[in-house]
Amino acid sequence: MKYLNTITSIALGILSFVSYISKAQNSNINTKHLEKVETKSQEIVNVALIYIKDGEEARFEEYKKKGGAILEKYDGKIERIIKPTMLVKGDLELPNEIHFARYPSIEVFNKFNEDPEFIKIRNEYAIPALKDISIFTSRNTDFKFKKETGDKRKTYGVAFIYFNEGEQFAKQFAEYHDDVCEIMPEFGTHFERFIAPFQSKGTIEQPDEIHRFYFDSIEGLQQMGTDERMKALFPKRDASLKNLYFFIGEASL
């Protein structure tokens, strides 16, 4: 229990890297909303929380193989697959996998999903294999950070972040943001993605931001959670959040 509490504190601490982005007003997938967030010709990242039916794992693996081959024809890429081992914050059924797929633009994303060959593969392999899925199409945030790339040997964290409404919370984050950016690299925390969903589909509420990061070691992760400088920032951070789902897991890709 002590270890879990430490991980939870660390998970929340990591959120201090965020920049505030106002919550999208419409979570339905439609062209009008896409134009509002100005995603044309910009790279997007599709994030999927995937729940696989018992006994259908092999069928879903075949879907990933066949669907991934078509995705590459569109200059897209499945850049990371995380298999969560625990949900350390939030109340949500643990998904089997969290997928991050990158596309050159929303136009390419739409063309890929309308590809007849892909639709056939999806209907034959994915739909029968899945118990549930929630999908979040996202753009890169304006936050400036040193992007690093991990590998399958690392422990990963994925945070689905929901902010309280109001500009005062943006100011609250800004007050300690710079200090935290100075602290966390000391403990071997590396960031791969800061993205903001602009459309979603599924039962899980659309978050304001999704973060993906990895750790050099569990020991460093634990030490960061007990650092006095980090702990001093937690109260301001806690008051800014409405909800948080924080997963820890291993990468299969």
How is residue 167 written in tokens?
């500009």
The domain that holds 237 is classified in CATH as: 3.30.70.100
For 191, the 3-state DSSP assignment is strand
Residue-level length of the chain: 253
Q: What is the pLDDT of residues 30-65, one digit of tens each?
A: 333 333 445 566 999 999 999 999 999 999 999 999
List, for residues 51-107, the tens digit of each pLDDT value. Answer: 999 999 999 999 999 999 999 999 999 999 999 999 998 999 999 999 999 999 999
C-alpha pair distances (Å), 80 with each of 25, 48, 87, 90, 101: 28, 11, 18, 22, 7
Instruction: State how far the Cα of 190 lies from the Cα of 208, in Å rounded to an integer.
Output: 21
Q: With DSSP H G I counted as helix, E B as strand and the rest as coil, what are the percentages for the chain, rounded to 5?
A: 40, 30, 25
Q: Which of 6, 2, 41 is nearest to 248 (CA)?
A: 6
Cβ neighbours for 74, distance < 8 A, ≥ 6 positions apart: 103, 104, 108, 111, 112, 115
- Report d(CA 195, CA 211) in Å as an integer: 7
HSE, side-chain direction, 13 A CA sphere, residue 11: 27
The answer to whether residues 130 and 196 touch, using CB atoms and an 8 Å cutoff, is no
Look up the domain containing 94 and give its range: 2-251
Q: Taking residues 148-159, report their average pLDDT.
A: 90
At residue 149, the pLDDT reads 85
Q: Identify which has the larger pLDDT, 10 or 70.
A: 70
**pLDDT digit string (tens) for 180-230?**
777 888 999 888 998 999 999 999 999 988 999 999 998 998 898 899 999
Q: How many domains does the chain have?
A: 1
> What average pLDDT does this structure show over 162-191?
79
Q: Assign 238 a pLDDT band (cuts: 50, 70, 90).
A: confident
